[in-house]
Structure 1
Amino acid sequence: MPTDVVFLLVPKLHLLDLAGPAQVFATANDFGYGYRLSYVAEVEEIVTAQGVPVKAQLEWPDLGPDDLIVVPGWRSPRLSPVPPIGPETKQRLRSHHAGGGTVASVCSGADALGAAGLLDGRRYTTHHDLTDELAARYPNGTIVRDVLYVVDDRVITSAGIASGIDLALHLVAIERGAEAAARVAREMVVYARRNGDELQESVMLRHRGHLSDLAHRVQDVIDARYAQRLPLTELAAEIGVSERTLTRIFTNATGLTPLRYQQLLRLERAEHLIGHGATVESAARAVGFEDPRMLRRLRSRATEPVAG
């Protein structure tokens, strides 16, 4: 029997919060893995945050314990004063979970699960811009910050936007196997299926909020060649400034030396490989460490400054 996946649509939903997971399950179904998608709402037409109207059905399909309800997020960065779902919809969510079914959310969709009481006593996450608000609104649960998704007793919450794809691929892997999820990811040209505990913001994004054109150019070089040896002399010559000027401007802009930035990129990529089954030794080689002991040291003191 196919698995029913019901998307609960609310006004001003984000298109990618809906389209990302929907594409995963639709592609899985194209491969014969057995998913049946439907879209329900409290009104027949939903206008998305991007202005595209979406038609929905008012009647819910009959759902069993093997089926899934997904609540995509709606316009952020702040939560609406009250979740945009009514009492009957809240009861639908509660009843489905109580009957053994799974409920999932993308981004601010976690607010709907919280309104239904499904976050109480559970760990959950959301988009990093909303964590403080959601934690205050649902203090009987435990917010998990800066991860892609959290699974707790058939309640699955994700960070939002693109992380909905990671959540859906995870569910395909659990229900249909890792090979099925890999086939879907490849068909969707997804670079890698990320684990739930990976950070919402990569090192590349976290240190890009500055306005220094020179520092951005240096980061472009390091991002592209982080697994290679990049002596400061070579880096400075490529950018066309002195080593002293490069170090000063880069550190002022990012809070890191070029070496520390490169090490963080290597560490992040190595953690990803290890999380997907690689040994420390093979991960160290893949990211450019000649000696795996360096990777072990960086992992053991990941929050400490590295001499260099």
Structure 2
Amino acid sequence: MGSIRVVFVLVPKLHLLDLAGPAQVFSTAETLGYGYELTYVAEADEVMTAQGVPLKTQPEWPELGPDDLIVVPGWRSPRLLPVPPIGPETRQRLRDHHAAGGSVASVCSGADALGAAGLLDGRRYTTHHDLTEMMAARYPRATIVRDVLYVVDDRVITSAGIASGIDLALHLVAGARGAEAAARVAREMVVYARRNGDELQESAMLRHRGHLSDLAHRVQDVIDARYADRLLLSDLADQVCVSERTLTRMFTTATGLTPLRYQQLLRLERAEHLIGHGSTIEAAARAVGFEDARMLRRLRSRT
């Protein structure tokens, strides 16, 4: 089994986790004997990360073959820069590697570098949810896929923000070395065993937490921890020392949902994850707290 070379292209203000997550996956795979070799290149001898940690880089690009991979981690970019921080030579290397049969990947805003190299044109891709509209406008010949973890299209692999780079890397290990290898790496790293690419970037636990109601947050804490249990509205109201009517009114004002609907969303997301990993609808329904699969089927049909 020959080694797969993974080249990380480092740019100024890159996010450490965009780099460290995938690098940890591939280096753990190497430690476990799956044959990976990591290289870090840049257009400067040293790159400063967004978190203030300077990184030394290697001056020369290695020779790459069709089995090798180039990864562009993302950089700090609440908005896209006028021009992605990679020069013409790096763009050409990305194009040449892909044209020779190799794979290229990005994390978060790293997709902007692939777009600048022309590798998104005619392909599907994703990026961090904060950048989707700007990327869609910048690369109209590409098709952006919103709110998923990663997208694979003709050896161009793009992932969402920050931690999703781990999911992308585990997916690539599974494709190159098998699902057992990816599972061993995930277990060694103590991370969620490989999430599917079409899972949501933001869970309901995050989407409905952007309010300032302490009462609603406390109720959400209870539901988050016990979403598979039968939770009575009266018990939730007792937890926060208000009436059922007051609880429903304040919770709905803060989150846009009733407590029951919020619990159903959590159950539905967890069930979709289980189904995506091979569970039957019936087994998933039982695992998340439904008495049978009928309610789960109704909720899935609505969404």
Residue ranges of structure 1 left out of the alignment (5+ in a row):
303-308
**Deviation at 1:193?**
1.8
**Amino acid corresponding to residue 129 of structure 2 in structure 1:** H
**Deviation at 1:294?**
0.6
Runs of 4+ in structure 1 displaced over 6 angstroms?
Answer: none
Give the distance between the partners of 1:94 and 1:190, measured in 2 at CA. Answer: 33
Q: 1:285 maps to what in 2?
A: 286
Residue ranges of structure 2 left out of the alignment (5+ in a row):
none
Q: 2:95 maps to what in 1?
A: 94
Give the distance between the partners of 2:80 and 2:8, measured in 1 at CA. Answer: 20
Q: Secondary structure at the match of 1:70?
A: strand
What does the per-residue CA deviation read over 1:201-252, in whole Å, with 9 as the maximum and x for residues that have no partner?
A: 0000000000000000000000000000001111111222110111010000
**Deviation at 1:150?**
0.4
**Deviation at 1:144?**
0.6
Q: 1:76 maps to what in 2?
A: 77
Q: What aligned pairs does 1:188-267 form with structure 2 within 5 A after superposition?
A: 188-267=189-268
Give the distance between the partners of 2:53 and 2:246, measured in 1 at CA. Answer: 48
Give the distance between the partners of 1:19 and 1:217, measured in 2 at CA. Answer: 34
Q: 1:148 maps to what in 2?
A: 149
Q: Secondary structure at the match of 1:130?
A: helix
Q: 2:135 maps to what in 1?
A: 134
Q: 2:9 maps to what in 1?
A: 8
Q: Secondary structure at the match of 1:210?
A: coil
Give the distance between the partners of 2:161 and 2:233, measured in 1 at CA. Answer: 38
Q: Secondary structure at the match of 1:4?
A: strand
**Amino acid corresponding to residue 193 of structure 2 in structure 1:** A
Give the distance between the partners of 1:172 and 1:277, measured in 2 at CA. Answer: 19
Give the distance between the partners of 2:20 and 2:73, measured in 1 at CA. Answer: 9
TM-score, normalised to structure 1, is 0.97
Give the distance between the partners of 2:184 and 2:263, measured in 1 at CA. Answer: 32
What does the per-residue CA deviation read over 1:109-164, in whole Å, with 9 as the maximum and x for residues that have no partner?
A: 00110010000000011000111111111111001111110000000000020000
**Deviation at 1:272?**
0.3
Q: Secondary structure at the match of 2:152?
A: strand
Q: 1:41 maps to what in 2?
A: 42
Give the distance between the partners of 2:131 and 2:82, measured in 1 at CA. Answer: 13
**Amino acid corresponding to residue 267 of structure 2 in structure 1:** R
TM-score, normalised to structure 2, is 0.99
**Amino acid corresponding to residue 110 of structure 2 in structure 1:** G
Give the distance between the partners of 1:291 and 1:254, measured in 2 at CA. Answer: 28
**Deviation at 1:178?**
1.1
Give the distance between the partners of 2:192 and 2:161, measured in 1 at CA. Answer: 18
Matched, 1:183 2:222: no
**Amino acid corresponding to residue 92 of structure 2 in structure 1:** Q
**Deviation at 1:11?**
0.6
Give the distance between the partners of 1:21 and 1:259, measured in 2 at CA. Answer: 38
Q: Secondary structure at the match of 1:259?
A: helix
**Amino acid corresponding to residue 15 of structure 1 in structure 2:** L
Q: 1:272 maps to what in 2?
A: 273
Q: 1:306 maps to what in 2?
A: none
What does the per-residue CA deviation read over 1:232-281, in whole Å, with 9 as the maximum and x for residues that have no partner?
A: 11111122211011101000000000000000000000000000000000
Give the distance between the partners of 2:240 and 2:190, measured in 1 at CA. Answer: 33
